């Protein structure tokens, strides 16, 4: 086969490839885009945490609400924590309890208190340890069931109280209190820590129960702030 024949064959192949791309390319791209949109539509929405505003510092410690997902549907459950930040210059020791020492109110869209469906005996609360928080450090404490806890009839549980909330928008407001407890002095000295006691007023955070399925549309209802 001559060199001219080789060149002619190469030109024919290039022209054939160009024709295929010209006519089949847009259809292929459209098919891939449609598959991409369908895939995204079938993906479960990610649970977006809702983080409240930080409180005024008390004894060098600030706190804020953290809700694992601020919007749930039928069968869902709010996972609520308090995130503390040490804004002082000394390591703080924060007590941990079997029932978080949190007083909380749930308000409906008209700012009316929503009574809890049930409440545990707060006298069962006992100290189970303490956590050290270094200066500019943070600590997140779950004040109800954590993110891996199974679903239950109550869709909101904080400390000793449980609520069964109907679809609608709500606000959580409350305070965290730790008083009259002590930690082993040698351990505090070892960490150079001061045992924190006081009362932190937690700024309100918004949550919502929808009529949708368990996932709902997990979108935040308040500003997601950084630590």
pLDDT at 187: 66
Using 50, 70 and 90 to split pLDDT, how confident is the model at 125?
Answer: low
pLDDT at 2: 60
Is 102:159 a contact under the CB 8 Å cutoff?
Answer: yes
Q: Are residues 76 and 97 located together in one domain of the fold? A: yes
Q: Are residues 66 and 167 located together in one domain of the fold? A: yes
Is 57 part of a structural domain of the chain?
A: yes
Is 222 part of a structural domain of the chain?
A: no
Rounded mean pLDDT of the chain? 75
Alpha carbon distance 117, 185 (integer Å): 41
Residue 212 has pLDDT above 80, yes or no: no
Burial status of residue 188 (CB atoms within 10 A of its CB: 0-12, 13-18, 19 or more):
middle
Residue 22 has pLDDT above 80, yes or no: no
Q: Are residues 197 and 91 located together in one domain of the fold? A: yes
- Looking up residue 158, the CATH number of its domain turns out to be 2.60.40.2360
Helices (H), 78-199: 185-191
Q: Are residues 28 and 68 located together in one domain of the fold? A: no
Q: Are residues 74 and 163 located together in one domain of the fold? A: yes
User: Which structural domain range is residue 114 located in?
Assistant: 50-209
Is 224 part of a structural domain of the chain?
A: no
Q: Are residues 34 and 63 located together in one domain of the fold? A: no
Q: What average pLDDT does the segment 204-214 reach?
A: 82
Structural domain count, the chain: 2
Q: Are residues 124 and 195 located together in one domain of the fold? A: yes
Q: Are residues 3 and 72 located together in one domain of the fold? A: no
Q: Are residues 180 and 120 located together in one domain of the fold? A: yes
| Element of type H or E holding 177 | strand 168-178
For the stretch 30-88, pLDDT in tens is 544 444 444 444 344 445 788 999 999 999 999 999 998 788 887 788 889 999 999 99
pLDDT at 40: 45
Alpha carbon distance 183, 195 (integer Å): 7
Task: Enumerate residues 6+ apart whose C-beta is below 8 A from 185.
Answer: none
Q: Are residues 35 and 95 located together in one domain of the fold? A: no
Question: Across 27-41, 103-117, 127-141, 207-221, which has the greatest mean pLDDT?
Answer: 103-117
Does the reported pTM lie above 0.85? no
Is 65 part of a structural domain of the chain?
A: yes
Q: Are residues 15 and 119 located together in one domain of the fold? A: no
Is 99 part of a structural domain of the chain?
A: yes
Is 214 part of a structural domain of the chain?
A: no
Residue 128 has pLDDT above 60, yes or no: yes
pLDDT at 216: 44
Q: Are residues 79 and 190 located together in one domain of the fold? A: yes
**Cβ atoms within 10 Å, residue 29:** 10
Alpha carbon distance 72, 213 (integer Å): 8
Is 104 part of a structural domain of the chain?
A: yes
CA distances for 189 relative to 93, 109, 130, 132, 183, angstroms: 11, 48, 14, 12, 10
Residue 204 has what DSSP assignment? E
| Element of type H or E holding 205 | strand 198-209
Task: Enumerate residues 6+ apart whose C-beta is below 8 A from 155.
Answer: 72, 76, 77, 78, 163, 164, 165, 209
| Element of type H or E holding 148 | none
For the stretch 137-194, pLDDT in tens is 999 988 876 655 555 567 888 888 889 999 999 999 999 988 755 555 666 766 678 8
Is 215 part of a structural domain of the chain?
A: no
Residue 124 has what DSSP assignment? G
């Amino acid at each position: 086969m001559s060199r001219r024949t080789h060149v002619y064959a190469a030109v024919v192949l290039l022209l054939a490839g160009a024709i295929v791309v010209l006519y089949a390319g847009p259809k292929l791209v459209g098919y891939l885009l449609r598959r991409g949109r369908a895939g995204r539509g079938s993906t479960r929405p990610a649970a977006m945490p809702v983080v409240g505003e930080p409180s005024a510092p008390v004894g060098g410690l600030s706190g804020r609400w953290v809700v694992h997902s601020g919007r749930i549907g039928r069968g869902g459950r709010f996972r609520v924590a308090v995130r503390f930040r040490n804004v002082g210059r000394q390591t703080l020791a924060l007590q941990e309890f079997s029932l978080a020492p949190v007083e909380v109110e749930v308000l409906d869209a008209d700012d009316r208190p929503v009574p809890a469906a049930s409440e545990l005996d707060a006298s069962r609360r006992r100290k189970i340890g303490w956590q050290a928080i270094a200066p500019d450090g943070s600590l997140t404490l779950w004040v109800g069931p954590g993110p891996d806890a199974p679903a239950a009839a109550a869709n909101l549980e904080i400390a000793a109280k449980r609520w069964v909330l109907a679809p609608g928008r709500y606000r959580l407001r409350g305070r965290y209190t730790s008083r009259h407890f002590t930690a082993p002095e040698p351990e505090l000295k070892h960490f150079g820590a001061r045992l924190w006691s006081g009362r932190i007023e937690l700024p309100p955070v918004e949550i919502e129960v929808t009529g949708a399925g368990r996932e709902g549309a997990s979108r935040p209802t308040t500003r997601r702030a950084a630590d």
